[in-house]
């Protein structure tokens, strides 16, 4: 029988994992999330659009900004992926590895993690391209709109089914990206709707907290600073809040994995209980 996800239990387990490993998680989050995110925000500012800029010109400016920032974005993404696996190892390994040991194992899992994401992204992108091209051949706009909507829903569904790839790589030490994808697919069977509702709720809570915090910080910084210093401090606060949210989200992935993977061994149980 497929286990049913208990989101309340997952949240309680996640908060306990964060509290138990707070010091190590803060250090890892600073290296893999906060500093890269801050660097990206500072060195890749948002493109400036003059009032009345035509839509075509706006798209051109956005495309240029995206192209120029792509190398740094790739580096930041890879660091965050390695940090995700590293945190999962810290929170779930009963052997209690040091930060250095966890980071080393996190980077060893980076290759399979990256390949798994490329497989999923490539498959979804190819399917989207084929469906949209087929719809375009009909010449009916309504069909094209329906196909795009269906592809978007399918993309979300596939992302939910693959949400536990990182815990599989970290906790089960799986290094075959295809097997990791299959394992995540099997673990999430019958729980896509619950995962979606849980993640949407978490997203709404984060958006509210983030919005209120940045509004308060913005008022304080406007009254006390200005210019480049204000931009840097705003970016630092934003990166810190986002990093904290990522820590809890990764802990939630560990907690969800714990529920859906079934009864753990005695050693693993001691980590979660």
Burial zone of 224 (CB within 10 Å; 0-12 exposed, 13-18 middle, 19+ buried): exposed
Over the stretch 94-125, which tens digit does the pLDDT of each residue have? 888 999 999 999 999 999 999 999 998 888 88
Query: pLDDT class for 126, splitting at 50, 70, 90?
Result: confident
How far is residue 85's CA from residue 91's CA, in Å, rounded to a whole number?
A: 10
Query: pLDDT class for 249, splitting at 50, 70, 90?
Result: very high
Q: How many CB atoms lie within 10 A of CB 218?
A: 13
Q: Which pLDDT value is given to residue 50?
A: 65
Model confidence at 265: pLDDT above 60:
no
Q: Which pLDDT value is given to residue 149?
A: 84
* Orientation of helix 177-187 relative to helix 110-138, angle to 10°: 70
Q: Which pLDDT value is given to residue 172?
A: 92
Over the stretch 150-200, which tens digit does the pLDDT of each residue have? 888 888 998 999 999 999 999 999 999 999 999 999 999 999 999 999 999
Helices (H) and strands (E) in the chain, counts: 12, 0
Q: Which pLDDT value is given to residue 194?
A: 94
How far is residue 178's CA from residue 199's CA, in Å, rounded to a whole number?
A: 24
Buried b (16+ CB within 10 A) or exposed e, 142-161: eebeebeeebeeebeebbbb
How far is residue 72's CA from residue 159's CA, in Å, rounded to a whole number?
A: 24
Q: Which pLDDT value is given to residue 143?
A: 77
């Amino acid at each position: 029988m497929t286990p049913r996800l208990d989101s309340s239990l997952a949240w309680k387990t996640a908060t306990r994992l964060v509290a138990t490993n707070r010091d190590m998680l803060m250090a890892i989050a600073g290296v893999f999330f906060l500093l890269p995110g801050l660097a990206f925000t500072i060195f890749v500012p948002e493109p400036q659009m003059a009032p009345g800029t035509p839509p075509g010109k706006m798209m051109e400016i956005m495309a240029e900004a995206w192209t120029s920032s792509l190398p740094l974005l790739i580096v930041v993404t890879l660091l965050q992926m390695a940090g995700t696996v590293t945190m999962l190892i810290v929170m779930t390994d009963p052997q209690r590895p040091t930060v250095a040991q966890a980071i080393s194992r996190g980077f060893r899992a980076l290759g399979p993690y990256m390949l798994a994401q490329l497989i999923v992204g490539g498959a979804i992108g190819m399917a989207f391209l084929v469906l949209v091209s087929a719809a375009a051949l009909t010449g009916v706009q309504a069909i094209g709109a329906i196909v795009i909507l269906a592809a978007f829903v399918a993309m979300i569904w596939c992302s939910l089914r693959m949400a536990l790839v990182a815990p599989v790589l970290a906790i089960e030490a799986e290094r075959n990206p295809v097997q990791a994808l299959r394992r995540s697919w099997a673990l999430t069977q019958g729980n896509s709707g619950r995962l979606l509702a849980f993640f949407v709720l978490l997203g709404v809570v984060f958006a509210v907290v983030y919005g209120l915090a940045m509004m308060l910080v913005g008022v304080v910084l406007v009254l006390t600073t200005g210019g480049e210093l204000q931009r840097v401090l705003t970016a630092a606060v934003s990166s810190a809040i986002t990093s904290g949210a990522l820590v809890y989200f990764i802990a939630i992935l560990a907690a969800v994995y714990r529920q859906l993977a079934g009864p753990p061994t005695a050693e693993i149980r001691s980590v979660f209980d």
